[in-house]
Each structure stands twice: as C-alpha cells, then as structure tokens.
Amino acid sequence: MARHSADSELNGSATSTRRSERFLAGLADASQVTFVSHVNPDPDSLGSMLGLAHLVETRLGKPTRLTRDGLINRAENRAMVELLEIELTPVEDVVWQPGNAVVMVDSQPNTGRHTFDASDSLYAVIDHHETPGDLQDVPFVDVRRNLGATCSLVTRYLREQDIQVPTQIATALLYGIETELDGYPREASPLDDSALLFLYPLADKDVLARIRNARLPHPYFECILQALQSSFIYDRLIISWVNDLPQPEQAAEVADFLIRYEEVEWAFCAGVHEDRLILSMRTVKHQGRAGELLRQVVGKLGKAGGHHRRAGGMIELPSTAPSAIEDIQAELRRRLLKALHIDECRGQRLVALREMLQNLQT
Ligand SMILES: [Mn+2]
C-alpha cells in the first residue's frame, strides 16, 4: 500500500529496507540508467544526477548517462559544469532504447518543467518539491518535501551504501545543497545538515570558491539595470518586469537580488524570454508557501511551483505584442495583490523616474 503524508511520498510497502537498497534493486534488469531533471538544470539537479550515477556505477556496474534539458546559462552553474567536468547529453539527442531505465531527479513528471516525454521507461522520481507531479505509475518514488535539497537525499543514499565519495562528486553535492538553502538554514532539515557536514571535508574548497564567484557576462548587468528601472513596490511586495530577459534563469537572480530590500517581504520578477514569460518569486517569510501561492496566482495561465521561500513558473505567451504582455502583467499583478491581501494601489517606483533621468544627464 502506498504511504502518503504531507511531508513525504514513498511508494511500495513501508518496510525497514533502506531506500537506497530498494532503489538499486529495481534497476537490476536495466541495461543502462539515464538521469533526467528539469529544464535549465540547477546545481541541485546536476549534483543529484552525478551522485546517483556514481551510486549506480559503483554498486551495479551499469553504464549511466546524464542529460541536460535546455541550456545552462547562469554563470555559476556553467562554472560548475566546466570546473567539475560534468558530461551532459542534450536530452533531445537521447535515443531511448528498451532496457534503459530513466531516473528523474529534483523534479516530477508533468509539472511543465520538461521538454521531453520519457514516461514509458521512467523508473524513479527522487525529489523534494511540493509541486505535485504525475507519480501513479512510477515504480520507485522518494519525494521528501521537508528536505532542503535533493542532493541531501542522494548523499544519504551514498552513505547508506557506504560508498566512497570522490572530490568531484562531493563538491557538486555540497554546492547543490548550499544553493538550495541559500542562507536560509531554517528551511534545512537535519538530513541537509548532516549531508553538509559529511561532504565539507571531501569537497574541493578552491573549486567551490571559483564556482560561487563565477565571472558575469555583460547582459547580466543590463538585465539588473532593466529590473531596477521597472521595479514597483506595493506595500510589502516588490514586482519587477523585465521585457528582455537574456536567459530564463535570470528572473530568479533578479528576485534573489530584490528580496534583500529591507522594506519588503515578497519579491516577484517576470521576464520575457522568447515567447514565454518566466516567473520567479521569493519571500523572507518562514513557512511562506511561496510555491503554493504562485501556483494559485498563475492558475490556468501557465505552470508554477516551488518551496516555502522560493517559487518559479512559466506562462506561454499567446502573443509577444506589447499590449498582450501588458494584459498578462496586469492580471498577474491583480492576482498577486489579492493573494497577499494587499489593497489595490498604485505601485511606488523603487527608483524614482526623476532620479533615473538625473542620473542620465550627469
Ligand atoms: Mn532542488
């Protein structure tokens, strides 16, 4: 019987068998194991794929393959892939052969976060998101919603199996956990803490420093300027519209930046990238249910989900004409204010127009 609770989802019988044991046992007949994650994979995705591939190769001696859905643009994430030499096959180039088992990490099926469909051979889903995915027919499910990072769960599996963790993998797992917790230790569970303690002595601190301080390309600064110029404050919410988002991940970077403003509790950024509106939300509120809130706000316009303090989403734009984008922006703003119980009001610019003009003249 499936066991369900608010915090975790694990299918199969609730026996004392370790989860890593069950995970490996189900792969006994697979000829190859392919790891997939969400679009624009982040450090938690990359670390989780790398760690589980090491587990499968060490314990089962089976070939593994790590994939990349979409591009990796964020400077830190690119540095992670380059410095740790992580080999990734574009998911659209994968030939799905019979006998190939697919393991999805840091994501769940049919949550609008993938561009591929490999539901036939999907063997496992290992994740920590609250976003409910389509898990019915997945043989192995380990979703722990109270966990800060999927990498913590993967570290747990490696430790259960008493496997030596090489520097490259320890560094990736540590960075994956670190970026998910992002200075908010209250969202971390004891399992995240123990994973960090275990990984720290094994990780390459020099490489970590080079990833954290990755050099930033020119469009990054243009985007930040655009975001600052189009940020409006509504009570304890700041909203930023970016008309030309150079990379999808940058909406999150803007939200991360704005949430540090001491006058607000919520930050929301929506940016146009190709024919999509990319959404990102942050809150400083403990147990803020940002993921759920953004999902309600977006509703049928698109897809959204996330965690207590962080959420993301995406809306396919019916048209990229300025008027069509403005309509969606107005609707999102109205819904956001309503969801946060903020009275309809005119937004206050973060930077006054007069100041922007003065700066241009001097
Ligand atoms: Mn994650």
The proportion of the chain whose per-residue pLDDT surpasses 90, expressed as a percent, equals 83
CATH of the domain at 108: 3.90.1640.10
Place of tokens 């690119």: 78
Least confident of 181-195, 211-225, 235-249: 181-195
pLDDT at 95: 87
- The structure tokens listed for 347 are 């937004």
Asked if residue 206 and residue 230 are part of one domain, the reply reads no
Asked if residue 204 and residue 251 are part of one domain, the reply reads no
Distance separating the N- and C-terminal Cα atoms of the chain = 70
Asked if residue 51 and residue 182 are part of one domain, the reply reads yes
Sign of the C-alpha dihedral computed for residues 112, 85, 94 and 65 taken in this order: negative
Ligand 1 mean position, distance from CA 107 (Å)? 8
Task: State the total domains in the chain.
Answer: 2
Question: Is the CB of residue 342 less than 8 Å from the CB of residue 237?
Answer: yes
Q: Pick from 188, 212, 236: which residue ends a domain?
A: 212
Neighbours of 218 (CB within 10 A): 8
Ligand 1 mean position, distance from CA 45 (Å)? 6
Q: Pick from 183, 212, 241: which residue ends a domain?
A: 212
pTM of the shown model: 0.89
Which of 140, 91, 142 is closest to 117 using CA atoms?
A: 91
Q: What is the mean pLDDT of the chain?
A: 92
Asked if residue 180 and residue 85 are part of one domain, the reply reads yes
Asked if residue 205 and residue 347 are part of one domain, the reply reads no
Ligand 1 mean position, distance from CA 106 (Å)? 5
Question: Is the CB of residue 142 less than 8 Å from the CB of residue 153?
Answer: yes
Ligand 1 mean position, distance from CA 76 (Å)? 16
Asked if residue 223 and residue 208 are part of one domain, the reply reads no
Average pLDDT over every residue of 100-124:
87
Which residues fall within 8 angstroms of residue 241, CB to CB, at 6 or more apart? 230, 269, 270, 271, 329
Which of 268, 260, 246, 266 is closest to 313 using CA atoms?
A: 268
Asked if residue 150 and residue 24 are part of one domain, the reply reads yes
Residue 359 CB burial class (10 angstroms; 0-12, 13-18, ≥19):
exposed
pLDDT at 116: 78
Residue 154 DSSP SS3: helix
Ligand 1 mean position, distance from CA 148 (Å)? 7
Please provide the size of the chain in residues: 362
Asked if residue 132 and residue 10 are part of one domain, the reply reads yes
3-state helix, strand, coil split of the chain in percent (to 5) is 40, 20, 40
C-alpha–C-alpha distance, residues 195 and 204, integer Å: 15
C-alpha–C-alpha distance, residues 114 and 37, integer Å: 8
CATH of the domain at 336: 3.10.310.40
pLDDT at 160: 96
Which of 131, 134, 111 is closest to 11 using CA atoms?
A: 134
Asked if residue 294 and residue 160 are part of one domain, the reply reads no
Question: Is the CB of residue 170 less than 8 Å from the CB of residue 47?
Answer: no
Per-residue pLDDT band at 182 (split at 50, 70, 90):
confident
Ligand 1 mean position, distance from CA 12 (Å)? 23
Ligand 1 mean position, distance from CA 192 (Å)? 12
Ligand 1 mean position, distance from CA 346 (Å)? 35
Q: Pick from 177, 197, 212: which residue ends a domain?
A: 212
The tens digit of pLDDT for each residue in 308-361 reads 899 999 999 999 999 999 999 999 999 999 999 999 999 999 999 999 999 888
Asked if residue 261 and residue 178 are part of one domain, the reply reads no
Sign of the C-alpha dihedral computed for residues 334, 337, 343 and 346 taken in this order: negative
Ligand 1 mean position, distance from CA 360 (Å)? 41
Asked if residue 227 and residue 205 are part of one domain, the reply reads no
Domain, as residue range, for 267: 219-361
The tens digit of pLDDT for each residue in 244-286 reads 999 999 999 999 999 999 999 999 999 999 999 999 999 999 8
Which residues fall within 8 angstroms of residue 232, CB to CB, at 6 or more apart? 238, 239, 240, 347, 348, 349, 350
Residue 10 CB burial class (10 angstroms; 0-12, 13-18, ≥19):
middle
β-pairing, 140-144 with 122-127?
Answer: parallel
Asked if residue 304 and residue 196 are part of one domain, the reply reads no
Per-residue pLDDT band at 186 (split at 50, 70, 90):
low
